[in-house]
């Protein structure tokens, strides 16, 4: 079983990229963030025609998440029951006995902004809810765009980023607290190349100069960790024409 997460930065623009990537990379479950589509405009037909079940929740212009799956999707939950939020950032579903949470964590904009306060409150409520999900579902994968680089080695220029949003101590502490529930960062279960990132700025030749951040993560419960045989970042779609600024992260399970 292969499980992937990808922030597509508008599914309207990136649907061809997603379909091409799925053709070239057989994937059982794909979690998508930043669809930027209301549900009436979601391209469910195209996705279903490719052999996927799909669930989604979106809004105009911002946010929006979806889960694509070759196997049936059950017990779907939209948003965090513990956090009233008009922003569509969370989908949870059960697929083949695995509880999958697809999350688009708020960006936070700047540490002194209201959006950062919202990010921290969102993460606190997310922790409380995931703690319950973990208790109910031993096989749990919490994946998505976390907008947090866990460590300095996940940042192309830690000195320049010090204290900034995505790396601030409070954000990293919130991620650690989530891991303390009993989750692990699948990417770090395996040997990885230095300077591995999942996002690169569109500006200033960010990708070509590998000026990136690793902010998209696959977090696994212990039971799923035992089944995880690989976790990689696929940089290829970031090289395509008109790419998303994020690229997929993929975990393989026995």
Partner DNA sequence: ATGGCGCGCATCGCGCGA
Catalytic residue selected from 52, 53, 56, 104: 104
Kindly compute the dihedral angle of the four CA atoms of residues 43, 248, 110, 123, in this order, to the nearest 10 degrees.
80
Supply the minimum distance, in Å, between the C-beta of residue 113 and DNA: 8
**Residues within the interface to DNA (CB under 7 A):** 7, 9-10, 12-13, 34, 36, 60-62, 106-107, 109-110, 115, 145, 147, 165-166, 199, 201-204, 213, 215, 242, 245-246
145 catalytic, yes or no? yes
Q: How far is the CB of 21 from DNA (least distance, A)?
A: 15
Nearer to DNA, 65 or 95 (CB): 65
To which residue do tokens 């204290």 refer?
163
User: Which positions make up the binding site?
Assistant: 7, 34, 145, 147, 245-246
- The one catalytic residue among 53, 166, 217, 246: 246
Active site residue 104: yes
Q: CB 16 → DNA: shortest distance, Å?
A: 11
Helices (H), 50-199: 114-136, 158-161, 169-179
Catalytic residue flag (residue 216): no
Report the nearest approach of DNA to the CB of residue 11 (Å): 8
Q: Write the CB contacts of 65 (distance below 8 Å, at least 6 apart in sequence).
A: 31, 32, 33, 35, 56, 57, 58, 88, 89, 90, 91, 102, 103, 104, 144
Task: Choose the catalytic residue: 28, 145, 154, 185.
Answer: 145
Select 110 or 173, whichever has its Cβ closest to DNA.
110
Are 249 and 4 in contact by the 8 Å Cβ rule? The answer is yes
User: How many residues in total does the chain contain?
Assistant: 254
Identity of the residue, 61 or 176, whose beta carbon is nearer to DNA in the bound complex: 61
- Binding annotation for Mg(2+): 7, 34, 145, 147, 245-246
End-to-end CA distance of the chain: 7
How far does Cα 195 stand from its chain's mean position? 19
Residues with a catalytic annotation lie at 104, 145, 246
């Amino acid at each position: 079983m292969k499980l992937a997460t990808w922030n597509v930065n508008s599914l309207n623009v990136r649907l061809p990229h997603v379909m091409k990537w799925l053709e070239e990379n057989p994937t059982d479950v794909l979690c998508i963030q930043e669809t930027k589509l209301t549900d009436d405009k979601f391209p469910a037909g195209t996705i279903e025609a490719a052999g996927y079940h799909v669930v989604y929740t979106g809004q105009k212009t911002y946010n929006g998440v979806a889960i694509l799956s070759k196997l049936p999707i059950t017990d779907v939950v939209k948003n965090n029951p513990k956090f009233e939020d008009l922003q569509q950032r969370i989908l949870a579903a059960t697929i083949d006995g695995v509880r999958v949470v697809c999350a688009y964590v708020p960006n936070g904009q700047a540490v002194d902004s209201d959006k950062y306060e919202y990010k921290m409150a969102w993460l606190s409520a997310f922790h409380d809810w995931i703690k319950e999900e973990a208790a109910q579902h031993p096989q749990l994968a919490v994946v998505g765009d976390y907008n947090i680089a866990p460590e300095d080695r996940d940042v192309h220029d830690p000195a320049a980023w010090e204290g900034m949003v995505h790396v601030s101590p409070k954000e990293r502490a919130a991620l650690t607290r989530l891991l303390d529930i009993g989750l692990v960062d699948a990417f770090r279960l395996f040997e990885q190349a230095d300077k591995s990132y999942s996002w690169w700025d569109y500006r200033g030749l960010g990708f070509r100069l590998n000026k990136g951040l690793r902010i998209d993560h696959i977090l696994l419960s212990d039971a799923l960790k035992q089944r995880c045989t690989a976790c990689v970042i696929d940089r290829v779609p970031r090289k395509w024409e008109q790419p998303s600024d994020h690229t997929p992260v993929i975990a393989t399970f026995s």
